[in-house]
Structure 1
Amino acid sequence: MSQTDDGYTRIERPNEVESLLDALMEPGGASLQLLDAGGKPDPVLLIDQIPGESLTLDISAFRELAITLRQEHPFRILGQVQGKMLRTPAITAQSCREEDGRLLCVSDYPLHLEELQRRSSFRARLRLGMEVGGILRDDHGHSAQGDLKDLSLEGCQLELPLTAGGMLAEAGQPLEVELCFPDGTRFLARAESRHQKVDTERQSLQVGFQFKGGSPDQERQLWHLVREIEREAARYDEGGEASRLPSLLFQASTTAPPGIGRRNTQAYATPMAKRLARIAGYLDAQMLELQQGGIIDSVQLSRHADRLLQLHDEDRSALLFATRCLPYEPRLVRHSLAVAVQLLNLAGLDGIPRDLCKAMIACAMIHDLGKALLPVELLEAEALDSDQYARLQQHVPLLLERTTHCHWLSRGVLASVVENINERLDGSGYPRNLQSNELHELARAAAVVDVIEAMRRDRPDRPAHRIDEIYRHLLSQPDSFDQRWVKRYIKRFGLYPVGSLVMFASGDMGWVQGLDSQGRPDRIQLTQKTEPPGQALGEVMQGDVSRHLGKIVHEIPVST
């Protein structure tokens, strides 16, 4: 016996081939899969074999197959025998004919068969860029949407919003699980939850399910889905993408249900925030991929950097505000997106080639993800001793090691935004203690954006700062921060940047959503809550808002 590239074992002894084909003649025992055409296998009946000469199939249930088979399109026969997945090599039809109301197809006889030992415990893990939605339903009409993380013949793992915890606690077992693939393929099964894990930082719930009472058709479909996920995931292995055809399961279809996933059911303050959440979802998945030993995915990073540029082209102010409206995302993701958008506005745009702007925001999007590779207790410490601070600095080289496949990124931009964003003019920064004459203009600008954005958010050792306090801090540190970029930031974003929550003399509170040409707020959305912007915001006022609300008294720091 020999083995194929995808793990199947070849069976070549004629008597074994004949015996296994006999077993496939049981009702429901065989399926036909067209090669190079994608799609799931169609059930057929294997009704006869002449060893060494031909197989006879009843394809009456799928008569449209005859058109393709008559064109000698290659196909395989699939089935299960004694807990093993069985398939023929590529064969073609010799003829198709009507007989007693049935449509029969006579095909070549396979010279060998290929079998795969059933691996019920094997879980096919979805890799970055493989998005499959999941819907969980109970018998009382309640439902929750999530994302499929892995799939096996025995069960699956879904990532659900934290709010699904109440439904799981109250619902009886088993529940209904529906998996929704990008091409429109659906898989429906009953399942029982076996384990749950709460991730408060990511506002998610990972739930493992075990399938119950599946039919033979469901099991055949599961075999197909697991193998296709495994095949698609293999494209993302080093050197694999260029040599493997993509699975059609993951090719988007206009007939597929829109927006199935954990983030689809979250409430967002604005339509732009909901669109930005998809890019946040990519960064979240990339962060998990790094934690599981993966690398920065060059293709996905390029794709989402383009999407972020497109959102900026559509509405700069709406995008800046949206970066303050992602309360369900991990802190690292929120920070990285905000730095990317602000850096683009400060150091990009006018006169800068678009490819350079793209590289700049791509690097900003990932610049802090190396912290996901550090111990959680280090990131949550309220004070760091010298050893802990040295360990924290390792997030930079740890991330750089995972960017070696991003060949489209400018090395200079990567160095400025990822490697040197934490450096200071006086050499007190990290990881290389570079000084002013060693720091590129982009690194100086990135350092200013990074610090301002970080200080506007809560940290374990302190609450969020007001923007005027932050400006004063940076202006008092000329040895550390390039004052030209500090002043450019203040001029560009104003004394009350988009995304600030401000108090007016009238006693009203509102979110700054736009500035006039002088950097003064001219679009305010009223609110009664000192919390991150949610769906229930109040009236929008535009123009000379001070005429109606009075002067701005001060900013209210809100960690968003």
Structure 2
Amino acid sequence: MAEASGDYKPVSNAREMQELLEVLSEPGGASLMLDKPGSQPLPVLLMDVRADESLVLDISAIREVAGELKRGLGFRLLGQARAKLVRTPVLTVTQAYEVEGRLLCEMPYPEQLEVLQRRDNFRAELSASMDAKVLLHHEKAPTPLQGALKNLSLEGALVVLPLGKGSLLASAPSTIELKLVFPNHSQLVLSGALRHDASDLERQMFFAGFEFVARNAEQERQLWFFVREIERETARRARAVQDGRHPEKEPSPLFQAVERRQAPTATSQDVEYATPMTQRLARLAAYLDNQLFAIKQGRRIDSVQLSRHADRLLALLDEDREAMLFALVCLQRDSVLVQHGLAVAVRLADIAGQQAMPHEIRKALLASAMVHDLGKSLLPDALREATSLDADQYRELHAHVGRVMEALAGCTWLSRAVMQAVVTGANERLDGSGYPRGLQGDKLHELSRLMAVVDVIDAMGRDRPDREAWSIDGIYKYLLRHPHQFDQRWVKRYIRHFGIAPIGSLVRYAGGELAWVLNIDEQGQPARVQLTDSPVAATRYMGAVIEKRELTLLGKPVETLAVPSASTPS
């Protein structure tokens, strides 16, 4: 249907179809969109293009939808090639099979492709090596957020950010400042409004699409120059690759780098992790940050991605329990809500694993706990930062629970009973003083009683506007002195399971030595520790790891300190 401006147009020329499909077969070049309402693009790899015969897809990253595809659910492949949006007609899988651990599926070669290109809103695409940056700034952000410019048009820009930074945009006002910076230091400052977003969870990237607002004539002139130069530079490099030699023409002035000595800025995205497990956990934190952004945008939590990341987190916990528990206190760069969600999820699944609980129930516990507090991101700043709450504010606080339940409505694989017990039970108390329903006594589900204990122990160990973090000693004493609020069976089981000085605790010895607890013995005392010079958040630059005889020489810890916090706002 060709015909209205902006509509997809058919492409049936065999050579052009082959060229477009070859571009889609590059890593990250294709996505799969299920042919049903509410679908989102899913990451796939177009493994093989057999002209006039078939296409072969690697769907290992989206095994959750394999059953629907095998049963005949249609889908489209989507991508971009040569400044065009490309999609296939609706396809169906003819066969699926495993090859060396990869899940592959085949489908007939399409009779045509469909492309969309609007010159009045042409977007010039940049490769990563073109190194154009965008600095995003708004009054609620302490420092500009740096991203890479992915494409540019007269109307807007697509910016690539690290996945874990998306939620910082959700708290921004309706328009923010975008500063485009090119390698020759040409710059342009514009106002933009966030219009769409997407995430690539495999590559840990967040794509933010901005529409420029209130442009003046000079800004439009500069934009047109930038778009034209980007297109020229892209074509120059493409010809060089095609000919197999260095480019003959001079690069665009925009991309002739100028040396400039300058101090490193606070926008650097370089990250050093305290332990290898912390680095692996950070990928889960980035995913959870992305869900935080989705909730702030009024969207539901993606069912497939929640299932996949719950599986990953549970696998990491079961692979190396001690490393995971220590990594929880090393994860310092993410928002408090993300840190809290991961910590509660891991400890809840860990203690539940001692109760001979079925895998699917344990996974549902962990998944529900990961997101149980994300609704607090929707509360007004004044409420989240208040040091005391009046009756109206306390009622307003309750709303965050219902918002998470709404966001989880599409996760049909998640047990409704488990979800209800974890998400709504975290803040209930035995005496009915909790929220949102004020349940008490035997009306509280057993999982709610456990969740309340795990949740409050982690929450009390973190700084809050009205108080500093408590030490684990003080937290245990508080819970034991409040049997009317907390189920004492679970309080005592928690203490026995995680120990008097749990993994991740910061302890002080009689001689003044400070150490992080890496493992505990049967009495819940440190069995292996890592020395540190000062009571600051754990980093990769810490002291020796000691155990057995060397640890015996230190004696027993005389004090357990509150874990220092260096987290970002929620």
User: TM range, normalised to the smaller chain?
Assistant: 0.5 to 0.7
Instruction: Write the distance in 1 (CA, Å) between the matches of 2:87 and 2:371.
Output: 46
| Aligned residue identity for 1:215 | E
| 2:343 alignment partner, SS class | helix
Report deviation, 1:118: 3.6
**Does residue 215 of structure 1 match 2:223?**
no
Instruction: Write the distance in 1 (CA, Å) between the matches of 2:458 and 2:494.
Output: 11
In the alignment, which residue of structure 1 is the partner of 2:23?
A: 39
Q: 1:335 to 1:220 in 2, by over 3 A?
A: farther
In the alignment, which residue of structure 2 is the partner of 1:410?
A: 415
Q: Which residue among 152, 155, 166 is the counterpart of 2:157?
A: 155
Q: Which residue among 399, 403, 409 is the counterpart of 1:398?
A: 403
In the alignment, which residue of structure 1 is the partner of 2:137?
A: none
> Could you give the per-residue CA deviations for residues 26-54 of structure 1, whole angstroms, max 9, x where no partner exists?
xxxx9934389452599xxxxxxxxxxxx
Q: 1:315 to 1:86 in 2, by over 3 A?
A: closer
Q: Which residue among 482, 485, 490 is the counterpart of 2:487?
A: 482
| Aligned residue identity for 2:378 | L
| 1:541 alignment partner, SS class | strand
CA contact (8 A) 1:195 1:207 kept: no
Q: How does 1:45-444 map to 2 (within 5 A)?
A: 116-118=117-119, 120=121, 136=131, 151-153=151-153, 155-159=157-161, 173-175=181-183, 192=187, 194=189, 213-216=229-232, 218=234, 265-444=270-449
| Aligned residue identity for 1:32 | E
Instruction: Write the distance in 2 (CA, Å) between the matches of 1:348 and 1:336.
Output: 18
| 2:558 alignment partner, SS class | strand
Instruction: Write the distance in 2 (CA, Å) between the matches of 1:472 and 1:175.
Output: 58
Instruction: Write the distance in 2 (CA, Å) between the matches of 1:399 and 1:455.
Output: 22
| 2:230 alignment partner, SS class | coil
Report deviation, 1:69: 5.7
Q: Which residue among 525, 529, 549 is the counterpart of 2:530?
A: 525
Report deviation, 1:517: 2.2
Q: Which residue among 514, 536, 539 is the counterpart of 1:534?
A: 539
Q: 1:207 to 1:331 in 2, by over 3 A?
A: farther
> Could you give the per-residue CA deviations for residues 374-403 of structure 1, whole angstroms, max 9, x where no partner exists?
222221222221111111110000111111
Instruction: Write the distance in 2 (CA, Å) between the matches of 1:275 and 1:36.
Output: 35
Report deviation, 1:117: 2.9
In the alignment, which residue of structure 2 is the partner of 1:496?
A: 501
Q: 1:487 to 1:382 in 2, by over 3 A?
A: same
CA contact (8 A) 1:501 1:509 kept: yes
Instruction: Write the distance in 1 (CA, Å) between the matches of 2:289 and 2:550.
Output: 37
Instruction: Write the distance in 2 (CA, Å) between the matches of 1:123 and 1:287.
Output: 31
Q: 1:146 to 1:335 in 2, by over 3 A?
A: same
| 1:348 alignment partner, SS class | helix
- Which is higher, the Rg of structure 1 or of structure 2? 1
Gaps of 5+ in 2: 27-48, 56-79, 90-110, 134-143, 166-178, 193-205, 213-222, 239-266, 566-570
CA contact (8 A) 1:498 1:513 kept: yes
Task: Give the aligned length.
Answer: 416
Report deviation, 1:151: 4.8
Instruction: Write the distance in 2 (CA, Å) between the matches of 1:69 and 1:367.
Output: 49
| 1:514 alignment partner, SS class | strand
Q: 1:559 to 1:72 in 2, by over 3 A?
A: closer
In the alignment, which residue of structure 2 is the partner of 1:464?
A: 469
In the alignment, which residue of structure 2 is the partner of 1:450?
A: 455
Instruction: Write the distance in 2 (CA, Å) between the matches of 1:267 and 1:111.
Output: 48
TM-score, with structure 1 as normaliser: 0.64
Report deviation, 1:436: 1.6
Instruction: Write the distance in 1 (CA, Å) between the matches of 2:369 and 2:387.
Output: 25
Report deviation, 1:121: 8.5
CA contact (8 A) 2:272 2:540 kept: yes
In the alignment, which residue of structure 1 is the partner of 2:64?
A: none
| Aligned residue identity for 1:287 | L
Gaps of 5+ in 1: 13-20, 22-29, 43-66, 91-109, 125-131, 139-143, 163-170, 177-189, 198-203, 223-261
CA contact (8 A) 2:528 2:547 kept: yes
> Could you give the per-residue CA deviations for residues 176-216 of structure 1, whole angstroms, max 9, x where no partner exists?
8xxxxxxxxxxxxx98464699xxxxxx9x99897562135
In the alignment, which residue of structure 2 is the partner of 1:8?
A: 7
Report deviation, 1:553: 1.2
| 1:32 alignment partner, SS class | helix
CA contact (8 A) 2:529 2:546 kept: yes
In the alignment, which residue of structure 1 is the partner of 2:558?
A: 553
Instruction: Write the distance in 1 (CA, Å) between the matches of 2:307 and 2:54.
Output: 41
| Aligned residue identity for 2:319 | E
| 1:313 alignment partner, SS class | helix
Q: 1:514 to 1:289 in 2, by over 3 A?
A: same
CA contact (8 A) 2:284 2:309 kept: yes
Instruction: Write the distance in 2 (CA, Å) between the matches of 1:88 and 1:306.
Output: 31
Q: 1:41 to 1:304 in 2, by over 3 A?
A: closer
Instruction: Write the distance in 2 (CA, Å) between the matches of 1:217 and 1:71.
Output: 36
CA contact (8 A) 1:523 1:545 kept: no
> Could you give the per-residue CA deviations for residues 504-559 of structure 1, whole angstroms, max 9, x where no partner exists?
01111000111112211011000012111011111000225542223211012124
| Aligned residue identity for 1:175 | P
